[in-house]
Amino acid sequence: MAWAYIKDANIRAIWSPWVQNLPQLGLALVLLCGGWMVLHGHLQYWQILAFSLYLLMLQAPFMMLGQLVMMGQRAKASAGRIFEILDENPDIVERPGAYDLLEVRGEIDLNHVVFRYDNGAEILNDFDAHIAAGETVAIVGRTGSGKSTVARLLDRFYDVTDGSITIDGHDLRDLTMASLRANVGVVLDEPFLFSISIADNIAYGRPDASLADIRAAALAANADEFIVRLPEGYDTVVGERGYTLSGGQRQRIAIARTLLLNPPVLILDDATSAIDVHVEARIYEALRGLLTKRTTILIAHRISTIALASRVIVLDEGRVVASGTHEELLANEPLYAEILAQTAPAENA
Query: What per-residue confidence (pLDDT) applies to 167?
Result: 93
Q: Quick one: pLDDT at residue 345? A: 45
pLDDT one digit per residue (tens) for the chain, 349 residues: 567 677 777 877 777 777 777 777 777 777 788 778 877 777 777 777 777 777 777 777 777 777 788 788 888 888 888 888 888 887 888 888 889 988 888 899 999 999 988 777 788 888 898 999 888 898 988 887 888 888 889 988 888 989 999 999 899 999 998 899 888 888 877 778 888 888 988 988 888 888 899 988 888 888 888 888 888 888 888 877 777 787 778 888 888 888 888 888 988 887 666 566 666 666 776 666 666 778 888 887 777 778 778 899 988 888 888 888 888 888 888 888 888 877 654 454 4
User: Given this model, what pLDDT does residue 165 score?
Assistant: 92
On whether the CB atoms of residues 341 and 303 are closer than 8 A, the answer is: no
For 197, list phi and psi in degrees, rounded to 5. -70, 160
Q: What is the 3-state secondary structure (H, E, C) of 255-290?
A: HHHHHHHCCCEEEEECCCCCCCHHHHHHHHHHHHHH
Ordered by where they begin, the domains of the chain are 2-86 (no CATH), 108-348 (3.40.50.300)
What φ, ψ does residue 116 adopt, rounded to 5°?
A: -140, 150
Q: Measured between alpha carbons, how far is 283 from 271 in angstroms, rounded to an integer? A: 11
CB 245 within 8 A of CB 253: yes
What pLDDT is stored for residue 348 in this prediction?
46
Classify 105 in phi/psi space as left (phi over 0), alpha (psi -120 to 50) or beta.
alpha
Other residues' Cβ atoms within 10 Å of the Cβ of residue 35: 13
